[in-house]
């Protein structure tokens, strides 16, 4: 096996899970050169798989490299092997099944006038469940006077030589009355590498270390589309609802392209360059609502103007993530002829309640009557 320096190994990691590229097929996405291991590739939707190309040369290289174990932080010295003692057990919370042919012991006891038979059954390996399962059983007890099993006739007390007793019944069995994932997963628990997370984990004991520790996070559902966020289970739905790698329609009303927000940004620059205005816009707004796109600091902003009976309103949305939006503000300056009225506000994110961050001007501020159509001469800029 070939051992290579750590800085080279770091370049051989999967863009999705962060593990080494040691599971075939190894693929690369053409549009952004994102490399992915076979495990993550197999989990992709069918329409996403078509964007990746297999890399035979990379697979040959991976075959001759001795990759470090992903459990090396726990002193494992082996490469990825199924028999690694540091490997965690996966959590299975599906329907348990009983192996009826696997009897651990058969013990026949005689107690005064009673016969008791104790039968223990094993639950099949790797079928942990918190819900008791039904076990149907049937037993036949045979014997004669020589091996103690007998039935006495109370009338004449003569023992019957050949005895056969048939018993049938149903039991409720459970191998784990309260399964706790943290007991069978190696710490620290990382869903993407060590803990096979199951949606039924809510049945675990409250405070289960695998289900709700502060450092347990999972990848966003859009990881295959470029999202690098790792979120706690409780925050996953909130993040995924606002994730910039969801499907969005092009911000231009006349275009029906649907893709992620980062792709929309590039799409506007490439396919609609003449629709982009500079970061400082000077124009006259009238009695019709308007939208326009501005460009500033390598970001696109969609700007809205609304005309109402008693006031006009402006607000701005960043085409991108919420973290970027918090860095920008916008200023609206209305020219009244003999002076300027100026107001500022923070830019909104794509999923914000945007009207809360809007800038409004009453018609009284603009020195016009409510029943008149107003024309507003505005200088608009991103700051």
Task: Name the domain count of the chain.
Answer: 4
Question: CB of 285 within 8 A of CB of 378?
Answer: yes
DSSP assignment of 17-46: T--BS-SSSPEEETTTTEEE-HHHHHTS-H
Least confident of 25-29, 85-89, 310-314, 340-344: 85-89
Residue 179, token pair as written in the block: 């399964």
CATH code for the domain in which residue 279 is found: 2.60.210.10
Task: Check whether residue 169 and residue 186 sit in a common domain.
Answer: no
Instruction: Give the burial class of 365: count Cβ atoms within 10 A of its Cβ; 0-12 exposed, 13-18 middle, 19 or more buried.
Output: middle
Q: Rounded mean pLDDT of 258-269?
A: 89
Name residues whose C-beta falls within 8 Å of residue 232's C-beta, 6 or more positions apart in sequence.
212, 214, 216, 217, 218
* Least confident segment among 9-23, 165-179, 285-299, 330-344: 165-179
**Domain co-membership, 281 together with 198:** no
Q: Which residues are bridge partners to 186 per DSSP?
A: none
Amino acid 6: pLDDT: 73
Q: Based on the domain organization, do 265 and 232 belong to the same domain?
A: no
Which of 64-73, 130-139, 342-351 reaches the highest mean pLDDT? 342-351
Q: Is residue 215 part of a domain?
A: yes
Give the lowest-confidence range in 72-76, 137-141, 163-167, 241-245: 72-76
In a domain, 339, yes or no: yes
State the average pLDDT over residues 36-46: 82
**Same domain for 349 and 267:** yes
pLDDT of residue 319: 85
200 band by pLDDT with thresholds 50, 70 and 90: very low
pLDDT of 108 > 50? The answer is no
Contact 36, 14 (CB under 8 A): yes
Q: What is the per-residue pLDDT across 291-305, written as a single tens digit (0 to 9) for each?
A: 888 888 888 888 888
For residue 365, give its domain range.
Answer: 258-382
Q: What is the pLDDT of residue 374?
A: 66
372 and 287 belong to one structural domain: yes
209, 235: one domain = yes
How large is the average pLDDT for residues 197-206? Answer: 42
H-type alpha helices, the chain = 6-9, 38-42, 46-49, 56-63, 233-242, 261-271, 322-325
Residue 377 has pLDDT above 80, yes or no: no
Torsion angle (degrees, nearest 10) of CA 263, 297, 281, 303: 40
Q: Decide: helix, strand or coil at residue 373.
A: coil
Q: Are residues 208 and 286 in the same domain?
A: no
- 265 and 149 share a domain? no
- The answer to whether residue 82 sits within a structural domain is no
Task: Work out the pLDDT band at 257, boundaries 50, 70, 90.
Answer: very high
Model confidence at 91, in pLDDT bands (50, 70, 90)?
A: very low
Could you give the residue ranges of the DSSP H alpha helices within 101-220?
none
Q: Is the pLDDT of residue 369 over 70?
A: no
Strands (E) in the chain, as ranges, are 27-29, 34-36, 52-54, 98-111, 114-123, 133-143, 163-173, 218-219, 230-231, 248-249, 258-259, 276-277, 280-285, 290-296, 299-307, 311-318, 329-335, 340-346, 359-362, 376-382
Give a yes or no: residue 316 inside a domain.
yes
Model confidence band, residue 69 (pLDDT cutoffs 50, 70, 90): low
Q: Is the pLDDT of residue 65 over 60?
A: yes
Looking at residues 5-20, what average pLDDT do you find? 80
Average of pLDDT values for 25-39?
87
Confidence at 125, pLDDT banded by 50, 70, 90? very low
Tell me which of 77-81, 276-280, 362-366 is least confident.
Answer: 77-81
Indicate if 167 and 237 belong to the same structural domain.
no
Check whether 99 has a pLDDT greater than 50: no
Residue 18: give its domain's CATH number: 3.30.40
Check residue 84 and give its pLDDT: 52
CB atoms within 10 A of CB 60: 10
- Find out whether 188 and 215 touch, Cβ atoms under 8 Å: yes
Instruction: Say if residue 64's pLDDT is above 80.
Output: no
Residues 143 and 205 placed together within one structural domain of the fold = no
Read off the pLDDT of each residue in 15-25 and give the average, rounded to a whole number.
81
**Is the model's pLDDT at 335 over the cut of 80?**
yes
Residue 90 resides in a domain: no
86 within domain boundaries: no
- Single residue among 139, 173, 207 that ends a domain in this structure: 173
Cβ neighbours of 125 (radius 10 Å): 8
Q: For residue 91, how many other CB atoms are within 10 A of its CB? A: 24
Is residue 270 a part of any domain in this protein?
yes
Q: Which residues contact 316 (CB under 8 A, 6 or more apart)?
A: 301, 302, 303, 304, 328, 330, 345, 347, 348, 382
Quote the mean pLDDT of the chain.
69
Q: Out of 121, 144, 173, pick the residue that ends a domain.
A: 173
pLDDT of residue 141: 59
Q: Provide the token pair at 105.
A: 């012991």
Residue 105 has pLDDT above 70, yes or no: no
Give the residue carrying structure tokens 């506000």: 345
* Range from 16-25, 96-105, 365-374 carrying the lowest mean pLDDT: 96-105
Q: Looking at the structure, do residues 200 and 217 belong to the same domain, yes or no?
A: yes
Within-domain flag for 284:
yes
Tell me, yes or no, whether 283 and 374 share the same domain.
yes
């Amino acid at each position: 096996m070939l051992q290579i320096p750590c800085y080279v190994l770091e370049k051989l990691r999967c863009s999705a899970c962060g593990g080494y590229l040691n599971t075939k097929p190894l693929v690369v996405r053409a549009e952004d050169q994102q490399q992915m291991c076979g495990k993550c590739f197999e989990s992709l939707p069918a329409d996403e798989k078509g964007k990746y190309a297999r890399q035979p040369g990379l697979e040959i290289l991976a075959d001759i490299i001795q990759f470090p174990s992903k459990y090396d932080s726990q002193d494992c010295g082996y490469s990825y092997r199924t028999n690694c003692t540091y490997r965690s057990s996966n959590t299975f919370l599906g329907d348990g099944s009983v192996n009826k042919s696997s009897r651990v012991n058969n013990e026949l006891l005689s107690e005064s006038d009673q016969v008791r038979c104790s039968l223990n059954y094993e639950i099949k390996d790797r079928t942990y469940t918190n819900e008791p399962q039904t076990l149907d059983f049937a037993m036949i007890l045979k014997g004669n006077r020589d091996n103690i099993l007998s039935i006495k006739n109370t009338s004449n007390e003569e023992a019957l030589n050949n005895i056969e007793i048939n018993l049938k019944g149903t039991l409720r069995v459970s191998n784990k009355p309260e399964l706790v994932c943290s007991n069978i997963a190696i710490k620290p628990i990382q869903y993407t590498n060590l803990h096979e997370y199951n949606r039924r984990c809510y049945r675990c004991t409250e405070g289960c270390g695998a289900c709700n520790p502060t450092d347990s996070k999972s990848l966003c559902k859009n990881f295959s589309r470029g999202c690098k966020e790792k979120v706690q289970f409780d925050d996953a739905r909130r993040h995924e609802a606002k994730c910039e790698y969801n499907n969005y329609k092009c911000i231009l009303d006349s275009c029906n392209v649907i893709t992620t927000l980062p792709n929309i940004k590039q799409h506007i620059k490439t396919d609609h360059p003449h629709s982009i205005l500079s970061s400082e816009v000077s124009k006259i707004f009238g009695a019709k609502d308007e939208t326009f796109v501005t460009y500033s600091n390598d970001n696109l902003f969609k700007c809205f103007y609304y005309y109402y009976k008693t006031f006009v309103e402006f607000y701005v949305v960043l085409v991108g993530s919420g973290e970027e939006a918090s860095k920008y503000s916008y200023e609206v300056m209305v020219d009244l002829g003999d002076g300027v009225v100026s107001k500022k506000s923070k830019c909104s994110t794509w999923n914000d309640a945007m009207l809360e961050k809007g800038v409004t001007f009453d018609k009284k501020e603009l020195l016009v009557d409510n029943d008149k159509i107003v024309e507003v001469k505005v200088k608009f800029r991103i700051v």
